[in-house]
A and B are shown apart, each in its own frame.
Chain A
Amino acid sequence: NAGVTQTPKFQVLKTGQSMTLQCAQDMNHEYMSWYRQDPGMGLRLIHYSVGAGITDQGEVPNGYNVSRSTTEDFPLRLLSAAPSQTSVYFCASTPSRGWYNSPLHFGNGTRLTVT
């Protein structure tokens, strides 16, 4: 049982480049989300989705795009990377039904550096 899988684990980008962070889960969870983790700031929500075809913005959505074409996949796109996007990114999922009672399941993270 793989759970939540994130790729790549590490990435270095130059300012202005674009890339996609991949996230896949095999638990048939309807709710998926992306967080960024910065020192002293905890985890901040970027975007989330409550099901295929439905996405919404979180606390820090600027500079990021998402889509949800399948239940399993929830990629995060950086449109034009900036040094302020240097961070560790986590994907997390949870069952949608009674979701707020169910804990988030996390991937192992992607460490992104923008130079």
Chain B
Amino acid sequence: AQSVTQLDSHVSVSEGTPVLLRCNYSSSYSPSLFWYVQHPNKGLQLLLKYTSAATLVKGINGFEAEFKKSETSFHLTKPSAHMSDAAEYFCVVSSTGNQFYFGTGTSLTVIP
């Protein structure tokens, strides 16, 4: 069975400081992992994906994530937060079975 746990429902950072959004997953098979961002009243936009190639994945807007199989984690990071990063972030896992499994989301607040 597949599942995703986003360890923080809310994260607040100051502008210019690093961002860390944590995601742990459970999967019976080699998973594909994704991070999506949702700005207020908008749809979901893909930030980055891991599909069994390089374990360090770079995405859009300076975000990156590292796949750690031993820790079953796929944490999202950014070196320096910008005001425009304030949004809801979702970690997603898929493997077999025609379904994608979403975490419950992490709301990121950026303090000026």
Contacts and interface: CB of A to CB of B under 8 A. Distances in A.
A95 interface: no
A100 B90 contact: no
Contact of B49 (A43, A58, A103): A103
Nearest to A3: B43
Interface string B98-112: 111011110000000
Contacts of A34: none
Interface string A72-105: 0000000000000000001010000001110110
Contact of B42 (A56, A101, A108): A108
Contacts of A107: 43
Chain B interface category by residue count:
20 to 34
Interface of B: 9, 32, 34, 36, 42-46, 49, 51, 90, 92, 94-96, 98-100, 102-105
B43 A90 contact: yes
A80 B94 CA distance: 32
A56 B98 CA distance: 10
26 contacts: A31-B98, A33-B100, A40-B104, A42-B104, A42-B105, A43-B44, A43-B90, A43-B102, A44-B102, A45-B99, A45-B100, A48-B99, A56-B98, A90-B43, A90-B44, A99-B98, A101-B32, A101-B49, A101-B51, A103-B34, A103-B49, A104-B44, A104-B92, A106-B45, A108-B42, A108-B43
A41 interface: yes
Contacts of B104: 40-42
B32, B34, B43, B102, most chain A CB atoms within 10 A: B43
